[in-house]
Amino acid sequence: MGIFQKLFGSKEKRLKAEKYKIGMEKTRRGSLSSLKDVLKQSKKIDEALYDKLEEIFIMADIGVDTVVGFVSELRKEVKKQEISSPIALENIIVDKMFELYLKGEIVNTNIRYNEGGLTVLLFVGVNGTGKTTSIGKLAHKLRKEGKSVMMAAGDTFRAGAINQLKIWGERVGCEVVAKSEGADPSAVIFDAIKHAKEAKVDVLLCDTAGRLQNKVNLMKELDKIKRTIEREIGSSHYETYLVVDATTGQNGLSQAKIFQEVTKLSGIVLTKLDGTAKGGIVLAIRNELGIPISFVGLGEKIDDIDYFDIEDYIYGLFADFFE
């Protein structure tokens, strides 16, 4: 019996992971739907089986490089344990996927709160990933956890982004600091930090523009914002989160690579995980970029954002193995 078979033998543990199970149904019914059948119907563990597994995992957007490395580890484990039955690979696959995410340096994905002072969370990412919506949902979540929250409309490139954040502010009961379209984003965030300090707010959530057409301009803008934040609150009291749309698959991985070149990222906010049949992007991002997933969106409701849990995620991917 594998690690996860033991872990999710508990009804209580399965109930805790139910949100991931429901949210990741498209991935299980889509790209991973044939996995269990392939293992059941195969008569032996051979090259043909490994080829099928590679194809299934690539279709799940785990990424070619990640899949090749993963299947190589699978081969080693089969040889080491002298496994001959394909169905016995179920436990090995689940446990190895877990190990894959945890491989390398484990980064603390918790928000580093400035106890007794202001914590700033900066959100970056291209337009259309759900950045502003994620900020609104996270503001709601943090308020439910007892934090006082303010938001800054740092995406001054689009009037629509400013208005959208103001709507979210009204919805969740948070003040929004904003200037007119075309204003200097750093000036908006400077004013927001000053105001948040005066109001003794716990957390300031900052939106930013999502332009990728000119990486040099993006780098300059984010660098200026970063210097403003560090000057006002110090370097250890803010996080930078990249918002990635899970439904874009490998395109989301490409975006992550660009933003990683531009600024140091604390973690990923992965949106619309419930809307994709290719939920394996989590493993590709972690393995190929070394960036942890910090928050995940599993639905459209205001409460459908949560801290990422690797155990619940693996269960969401392979829940069929536990039934």
pLDDT surpassing 70 at residue 177: yes
pLDDT for residue 104: 60
Q: pLDDT, tens digit, for every residue of 234-244?
A: 888 899 999 99
Structure tokens at 58: 């690539």
Residue 145 contacts by C-beta under 8 Å, 6 or more apart in sequence?
none
**What rounded mean pLDDT belongs to the chain?**
89
List the beta strands (DSSP E) in 160-304: 175-177, 203-206, 238-245, 267-271, 293-297
- What domains can you pick out in the chain, each with its CATH number? 119-265 (3.40.50.300)
Q: Which phi and psi angles does 256 have, rounded to 5°?
A: -60, -40
323 vs 316: CA distance, rounded Å: 12
Residue 299 contacts by C-beta under 8 Å, 6 or more apart in sequence?
23, 274
pLDDT for residue 84: 92
Structure tokens at 136: 């609104």
Q: What is the mean pLDDT of residues 151-177?
A: 94
Q: pLDDT, tens digit, for every residue of 5-45?
A: 777 777 777 888 888 999 999 999 888 889 989 999 999 99
- What's the whole-model pTM score? 0.91
Q: pLDDT, tens digit, for every residue of 178-215?
A: 999 999 999 999 999 999 999 999 999 999 988 766 67
pLDDT for residue 108: 56
pLDDT surpassing 90 at residue 51: yes
